[in-house]
Amino acid sequence: MHRRVALLSAAALVAGVLAPAGAAQAGARSGPDRDGPVRWSATDSWSERRTVSQYWTRKRMLAAQPLSSPAPRRTARSEQPSLGNPWSARGTTTRTRGSWTTRGSSTTPSRGAPWSVTATSAVGRQAAVPNSPGLQWTDGGAVVRTTGRVFFTTADGQNSSCSGTAVTSTNESVVMTAGHCVKLNGQFHRNWAFVPAFDDGQRPFGTWVASRLLTTQQWNAREDINFDVGAAVVAPLQNRTLTDVVGGQGVAFNQPRIRQMFSFGYPAAEPFDGSELIYCSGRSFDDTVQTRDLGLRCNMTGGASGGPWFQGFDESTGQGWLNSVNSFKYNFAPDFMFGPFFGNEAMAVYRAAQNTNAL
């Protein structure tokens, strides 16, 4: 049997920093619905959220490391993602209600200098490479604001990072990510926070602390890699909701499998360091080895887990339809990434998250 390794890392590195007592006690106080996704409490009060926010100093964020994951288990056909009718929700752009300031940083991330590998169109706009195995994203747009790093502390006290995406939702507070970025080895993560537009330790739109975390029944029960989908509902910050500040990407479920995809994330394992937004692009394919997941040529490493896969991605606006997330790699094929098919189970996680109170 071929062995799979989680995208987070093949070797765990201990950060050596433990959470303060108040934040460490935020626990799973809500159980699974009878047939729906599993959800639990990440924080229950403003004081807990303040403690988590203060915990994530720039030093701790930069020191956060990927972690190892158990090898995914082979699944029976009955456990493969179920299909339903195609369904999608259109993304939203930021609104201009009120003002937003963050001490010591600009509210608009800089685009940076274009890389020599990008192509230039007739109108002069820098176009992304159509088949990229992993390059820094320099074209700006909504993807810069809506994609971010996820930080958390595992049950054994290790500070770690993943990636995530702000998506359009009823409560304007949903971040989609991978299941192992909210729960791993049977234990929920603590000190969970999302930093959109993370840039080498800078957080131009602030630190958004989770109030609730969700995953699929299948990932919760047996860490089934076909259902490695998670979500967080983050609390408002300075009396504004997440997508009111950064906008939200669209989401889509039960879509055709073989499509042109753009994948984004903040890989933190070598040769990357988690400081830059990296993207891969190309046509997805079916995993024929062991799972029902989708594959994409991509050299992103640990820390990119949970980052978005977009169908219908518009390079000029940086918007698309979230249709999978970075999940794992086979150890014999490090240049290929795999992500779960977004079927009914992933849709249930999203719908439950958007109907959850963010407070």
Assigned domain for 243 exists: yes
Looking at residue 128, its pLDDT comes to: 62
- Torsion angle, alpha carbons of 182, 188, 193, 199, to 10: -50
Lowest mean pLDDT among 18-27, 133-142, 329-338: 18-27
Is pLDDT at 282 greater than 90 in this prediction?
yes
- pTM for this model (two decimals): 0.81
Assigned domain for 97 exists: no
Question: Which CATH number fits the domain that encloses residue 191?
Answer: 2.40.10.10
Please, is 107 exposed, middle or buried when counting C-beta atoms within 10 Å of its C-beta (0-12, 13-18, 19+)? middle
Assigned domain for 19 exists: no
Residue 221 binned pLDDT confidence (cut-offs 50, 70, 90) = very high
Helices (H), 98-184: 142-146
Residue 86 binned pLDDT confidence (cut-offs 50, 70, 90) = low
Q: Which of 336, 231, 235, 328 lies closest to 285, judged by CA? A: 336
Residue 350: domain span:
4-11+30-73+125-354
CA atoms lying within 13 Å on the CB side of residue 79: 18
Assigned domain for 119 exists: no
> For residue 261, what are the contacts with CB-CB under 8 A and spacing of at least 6?
281, 282, 283, 284, 294, 296, 309, 310, 311, 313, 323, 324
Residue 41 binned pLDDT confidence (cut-offs 50, 70, 90) = very high
Assigned domain for 176 exists: yes
**Which is more confidently placed, 119 or 218?**
218
Assigned domain for 340 exists: yes
CA dihedral for 126, 129, 134, 140, sign (positive or negative): positive
Looking at residue 72, its pLDDT comes to: 55
Is pLDDT at 205 greater than 60 in this prediction?
yes
Q: Are 52 and 43 in contact, with CB atoms under 8 Å apart?
A: yes
Assigned domain for 85 exists: no
Number of domains into which the chain is organized:
1
Looking at residue 17, its pLDDT comes to: 29
